[in-house]
């Protein structure tokens, strides 16, 4: 018998029909690829059974020729009378066909380029066909093209027990490598038929009972081959009892993994404790360029409470664009520096890292503070990089600002006490772990300007405490947003011209850099030339994109900040961090190509001063109803959390956050938008099991089990 742990490469040892050694190995390779297992030999029957149908079809009710309607999709049992290969177009194309009967009328079935069927359908064979039946008015019979088929072996065969592909509720799978849905259906059927009746259930009985869950083995069987009374709608919408069980289980193990990770960090030893005294308070006050908002004060207190505790801080600072997260992060860095620690700030792009470094140095200089801040990025010349790395190792640098270069092996901190990671979702859990290992278990503060829906935060950041800056600084004027079509382009240009004449500046953002043959999109280079030479020859237009050298980007940004150029044509490289208070217009070309959260981030590049600001979404939005609906949301609200919820609903977590970068385990069954209620239930159960007053032998078993699940990375992440 098979078990869930049986390696797929060994399936051929179990005498399963049509699963030989080659087929077993190919299947193992494909499943290993989609489960991110480095070796095909690690792929198991359990991994295979989590390759779920993409939809289900009801083929259970057999029709006959007296009931059929032209164009109807149905299953029918027929007997083969005569069949053969028909060459077409000079023999280049071959078709197999047979004429049969259902006992009432005559039917024809045919398949293109599948001449091997001539050996399958013998005269007198009984077969169930499933497909779309069409009436041939010239021959006066129904015919079906390329139908699914199921052979009935002899007169004693029972249709219900022998049919896999027809006469039942049938799973339909996405193609997997060379495996098509029919072959996959056969494989799943034979694997499940040979799976041990005693499938181990890792969930505690009390949790299964409390949440009215189906046993695991039964769920794995029914999710592939629903029962005769199953609702196709419930299966299609993942509302069946089988789906519910597997969704709950997936969320439960994720919640357990995050809880274990959080618990371990709370027990990790910390370096010297951070102290807050009058000297530190004065240093923090001295660097503030403005009066903080109540939200900034509240979140700083939460951060300080963490920093002064005996366990390392692991906190997410979340705030909408323009809410002032960076200055809160800098205040925390000053507290650490005043306590004798070094600090690091990591940013996802060189432009953002350069801007952070520039702003921090300006703040330090204005406060006449004795801190040394240095920028460390991958594009620095080798000599400069070595000099900065040496100074960091000696402890001469108090604040290091950089990109991924900060966590390279060549960087050795003397006493790293605080790491601030900006735009966390662009880094990921492993990189967060890497920077933690570079210090004496330093405090970690991660920041994001991307508002994160609660359901997503529970899965991605479940191991972090969360602070939210939910208040904008005074003096910020709300940004007015308009969706416009191509027919309004000239009027938009006139409006930009008027804004520049009164001293303002404008961004023009495009999704790509150079011309693409596949997409009819205006590209940044072409747009820059058109705007400078034809549309706005009286103004200075600049170009900024990710392929430029760092010194080129720096020069362009300095020019725009100083208002020496009035229009900046850019790609999404300016999505985060770029801060030019004088800019008042954001024109986004092909807005329908962007995610809502990305549009919101881009919109946040204007409205950073007191002047009224505008975001114009230029789109071919009239082409689809979905595009119209999405962009209408941008006109209706500037609330980043509402926009993020809608973006998550439309695009899913992988697209919104970037699954591979964010460390979100790829869900096999669950969907955090659709299944929020089950997410809440599973998280509640995991928290109950991990409650320190309830550390039982069963809890130890659950922790050991979740550690064994490689997709949660507990073996790699501290």
Per-residue 3-state assignment (H helix, E strand, C coil) for 81-117: EEEEEEEEHHHCEEEEEEEEECCCCEEEEEEECCHHH
Phi, psi of 187 (to 5 degrees): -60, -50
| pLDDT classification of 223: cutoffs 50, 70, 90 | very high
pLDDT of residue 155: 45
Maximum mean pLDDT: which of 329-343, 344-358, 640-654: 329-343
Task: Say yes or no to pLDDT of 596 above 80.
Answer: yes
Residue 677 vs residue 629, higher pLDDT: 677
d(CA 292, CA 425): 26
Return the minimum-mean-pLDDT range out of 243-257, 396-410, 535-549, 571-585. 571-585
d(CA 232, CA 238): 10
Residue 256 vs residue 430, higher pLDDT: 256
What angle in degrees, to the nearest 10, is found between the helix axes of 676-690 and 241-267?
40
Which of 368, 367, 410 minimizes the C-alpha distance to 392?
Answer: 410
SS3 category, 704 = helix
* pLDDT, mean of residues 501-530: 77
| pLDDT classification of 159: cutoffs 50, 70, 90 | very low
Cα dihedral 239, 243, 249, 253, rounded to 10, equals: -90
Residue with tokens 């809880």: 259
pLDDT of residue 62: 85
- Give me 555's structure tokens: 């020069």
Contact 406/400 with Cβ under 8 angstroms? yes
SS3 category, 482 = strand
pLDDT of residue 157: 45
Which of 661, 672, 686, 668 minimizes the C-alpha distance to 260?
Answer: 686
pLDDT of residue 431: 61
Please tell me if the domain spanning 61-167 has the same topology as the one spanning 278-469: no
Contact 620/590 with Cβ under 8 angstroms? yes
| pLDDT classification of 497: cutoffs 50, 70, 90 | very high
Which of 224, 222, 217 minimizes the C-alpha distance to 198?
Answer: 217
Give helix then strand counts, H and E, for the chain: 25, 22
pLDDT of residue 140: 94
Q: In DSSP terms, which residues pair with 195 in a beta bridge?
A: 2
Return the minimum-mean-pLDDT range out of 9-13, 87-91, 124-128, 144-148. 87-91
d(CA 428, CA 424): 7
* pLDDT, mean of residues 496-524: 78
> What percentage of residues in the chain have a pLDDT greater than 90?
52
d(CA 134, CA 141): 8
User: How far is the CA of 656 from the CAs of 112, 373, 409, 452, 624, in angstroms?
Assistant: 42, 33, 31, 9, 21
Dihedral sign for Cα atoms in the order 228, 229, 232, 235: negative
Which of 455, 457, 451, 407 minimizes the C-alpha distance to 427?
Answer: 407
pLDDT of residue 693: 56
Task: Say yes or no to pLDDT of 404 above 60.
Answer: yes
Return the minimum-mean-pLDDT range out of 36-40, 322-326, 327-331, 587-591. 322-326
Task: Say yes or no to pLDDT of 449 above 50.
Answer: yes
Residue with tokens 């809410």: 323
pTM over 0.75: no
Contacts of residue 471, Cβ cutoff 8 Å, sequence gap at least 6: 293, 294, 295, 296, 323
Task: Say yes or no to pLDDT of 480 above 50.
Answer: yes
Strands 479-484 and 567-570 turn out to be unpaired
| pLDDT classification of 575: cutoffs 50, 70, 90 | low
d(CA 319, CA 451): 7
Contact 601/576 with Cβ under 8 angstroms? yes
The 10 Å CB-count burial string (b at 16+, else e) for 98-128 is bbbebeeebbbbbbeeeeebeeebeeebbbb
User: How far is the CA of 43 from the CAs of 11, 51, 77, 658, 660, in angstroms?
Assistant: 11, 12, 38, 25, 20
Contact 513/546 with Cβ under 8 angstroms? yes
Task: Say yes or no to pLDDT of 516 above 70.
Answer: no
Mean pLDDT of the chain: 86
DSSP label of 712? G
pLDDT of residue 638: 83
The domain locations on the chain are: 61-167, 201-267+682-718, 278-469, 479-637
What angle in degrees, to the nearest 10, is found between the helix axes of 325-338 and 350-366?
60
CATH topology of domain 479-637: Rossmann fold (3.40.50)
Which of 514, 520, 537 minimizes the C-alpha distance to 486?
Answer: 520
Q: How far is CA 331 from the centre of its chain?
A: 32
pLDDT of residue 641: 76
Contacts of residue 635, Cβ cutoff 8 Å, sequence gap at least 6: 481, 482, 483
Which of 442, 444, 445 minimizes the C-alpha distance to 271?
Answer: 442
The end-to-end CA distance of the chain, in Å, is 38
Task: Say yes or no to pLDDT of 528 above 90.
Answer: yes
The 10 Å CB-count burial string (b at 16+, else e) for 172-182 is ebeebeebebb
Task: Say yes or no to pLDDT of 715 above 60.
Answer: no
Please name the CATH architecture into which domain 278-469 falls.
3-Layer(aba) Sandwich (3.40)
d(CA 667, CA 34): 12
Task: Say yes or no to pLDDT of 407 above 50.
Answer: yes
> What percentage of residues in the chain have a pLDDT greater than 70?
88
Q: Note the pLDDT tens digit of each residue in 50-67.
A: 999 988 988 887 899 999
pLDDT of residue 354: 87
d(CA 21, CA 311): 53
Q: Give 199-221 as a DSSP string.
A: ----S-HHHHHHTTPPPHHHHHH
Contact 683/251 with Cβ under 8 angstroms? yes
pLDDT of residue 340: 95
User: How far is the CA of 79 from the CAs of 72, 82, 132, 175, 363, in angstroms?
Assistant: 20, 10, 18, 30, 86
| pLDDT classification of 580: cutoffs 50, 70, 90 | confident
* pLDDT, mean of residues 505-509: 95
pLDDT of residue 161: 42
Residue 9 vs residue 642, higher pLDDT: 9
pLDDT of residue 665: 55
pLDDT of residue 553: 84
Contact 329/445 with Cβ under 8 angstroms? yes
pLDDT of residue 517: 44
Task: Say yes or no to pLDDT of 176 above 90.
Answer: yes
* pLDDT, mean of residues 174-180: 91
Q: Note the pLDDT tens digit of each residue in 27-36.
A: 999 999 988 8
d(CA 216, CA 251): 15
* pLDDT, mean of residues 561-565: 93
CATH topology of domain 61-167: OB fold (Dihydrolipoamide Acetyltransferase, E2P) (2.40.50)
Q: Note the pLDDT tens digit of each residue in 94-146.
A: 999 999 999 999 999 999 989 999 999 999 999 989 999 999 999 999 999 99
């Amino acid at each position: 018998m098979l078990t869930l742990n049986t390696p797929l490469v060994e399936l051929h040892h179990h005498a399963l029909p049509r699963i030989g050694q080659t087929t077993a190995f190919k299947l193992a390779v494909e499943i290993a690829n989609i489960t991110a297992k480095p070796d095909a030999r690690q792929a198991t029957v359990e991994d295979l059974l989590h390759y779920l149908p993409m939809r289900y079809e009801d083929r259970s009710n057999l029709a006959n020729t007296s009931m059929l309607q032209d164009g109807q999709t149905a299953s029918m049992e027929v007997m083969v009378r005569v069949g053969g290969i028909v060459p077409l177009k000079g023999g280049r194309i071959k078709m197999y066909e047979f004429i049969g009967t259902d006992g009432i009328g005559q039917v024809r079935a045919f398949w293109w380029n599948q001449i091997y069927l001539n050996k399958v359908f013998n005269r007198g064979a009984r077969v169930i066909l499933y497909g779309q039946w069409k009436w041939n008015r010239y021959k006066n019979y129904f015919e079906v093209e390329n139908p699914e088929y199921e052979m009935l072996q002899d007169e004693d065969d029972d249709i219900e027990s022998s049919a896999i592909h027809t006469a039942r509720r049938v799973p339909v799978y996405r193609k997997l490598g060379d495996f098509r849905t029919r072959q996959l259906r056969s494989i799943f059927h034979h694997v499940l038929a040979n799976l041990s009746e005693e499938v181990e259930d890792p969930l505690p009985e009390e949790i299964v009972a409390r949440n009215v869950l189906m046993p695991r083995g039964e769920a794995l069987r029914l999710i592939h081959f629903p029962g005769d009374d199953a609702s196709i709608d419930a299966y299609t919408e993942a509302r069946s009892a089988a789906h519910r069980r597997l969704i709950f289980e997936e969320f439960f193990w994720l919640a357990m993994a995050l809880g274990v990770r959080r618990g371990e960090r709370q027990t990790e030893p910390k370096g010297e404790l951070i102290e807050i005294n009058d000297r530190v308070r004065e240093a923090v006050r001295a660097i503030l360029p403005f009066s903080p908002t109540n939200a900034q004060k509240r979140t700083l207190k939460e951060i300080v409470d963490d920093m002064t505790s005996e366990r390392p801080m692991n906190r997410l600072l979340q705030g909408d664009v323009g809410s002032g997260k960076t200055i809160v992060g800098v205040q925390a860095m000053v507290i650490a520096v005043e306590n004798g620690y070094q600090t690091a700030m990591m940013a996802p792009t060189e432009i953002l890292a350069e801007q952070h470094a520039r702003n921090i140095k300006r703040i330090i200089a204005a406060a006449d503070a004795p801190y040394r801040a240095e920028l460390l990025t991958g594009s620095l010349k080798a000599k400069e990089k070595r000099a900065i790395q040496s100074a960091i190792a000696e402890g001469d640098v108090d604040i290091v600002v950089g990109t991924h270069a900060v966590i390279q092996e060549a960087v050795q901190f003397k006493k790293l006490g605080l790491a601030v990671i900006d735009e966390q979702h662009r880094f990921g859990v492993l990189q967060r772990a890497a920077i933690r290992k570079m210090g004496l278990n330093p405090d970690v503060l991660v920041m994001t300007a991307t508002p994160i829906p609660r359901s997503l935060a529970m899965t991605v950041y479940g191991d972090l405490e969360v602070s939210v800056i939910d208040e904008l600084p005074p003096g910020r004027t709300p940004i007015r947003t308009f969706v416009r079509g191509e027919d309004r382009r000239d009027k938009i240009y006139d409006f930009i011209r008027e804004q520049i004449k009164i001293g303002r500046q404008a961004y023009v953002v495009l999704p790509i850099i150079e011309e693409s043959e596949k997409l009819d999109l205006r590209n940044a280079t072409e747009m820059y030339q058109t705007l400078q030479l034809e549309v706005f020859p009286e103004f200075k237009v600049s170009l900024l994109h990710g392929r430029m050298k760092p010194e080129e980007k720096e020069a362009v940004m300095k020019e725009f900040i100083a208002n020496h150029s009035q229009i900046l044509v850019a790609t999404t490289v300016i999505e985060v961090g770029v801060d030019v208070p004088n800019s008042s217009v954001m024109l986004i070309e092909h807005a329908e190509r962007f995610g809502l959260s990305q549009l919101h981030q881009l919109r946040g590049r204007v409205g950073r001063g007191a002047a009224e600001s505008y975001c114009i979404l230029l789109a071919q939005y009239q082409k689809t109803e979905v595009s119209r609906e999405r962009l209408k949301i941008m006109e209706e609200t500037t609330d980043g959390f509402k926009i993020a919820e809608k973006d998550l609903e439309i695009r899913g977590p992988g697209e919104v956050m970037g699954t591979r970068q964010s460390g979100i385990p790829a869900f096999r069954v669950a969907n955090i938008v659709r299944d929020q209620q089950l997410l809440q239930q599973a998280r509640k159960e995991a928290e109950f099991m991990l409650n320190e007053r309830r550390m039982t032998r069963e809890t130890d078993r659950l922790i050991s089990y979740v550690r064994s699940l490689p997709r949660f990375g507990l073996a790699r992440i501290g």
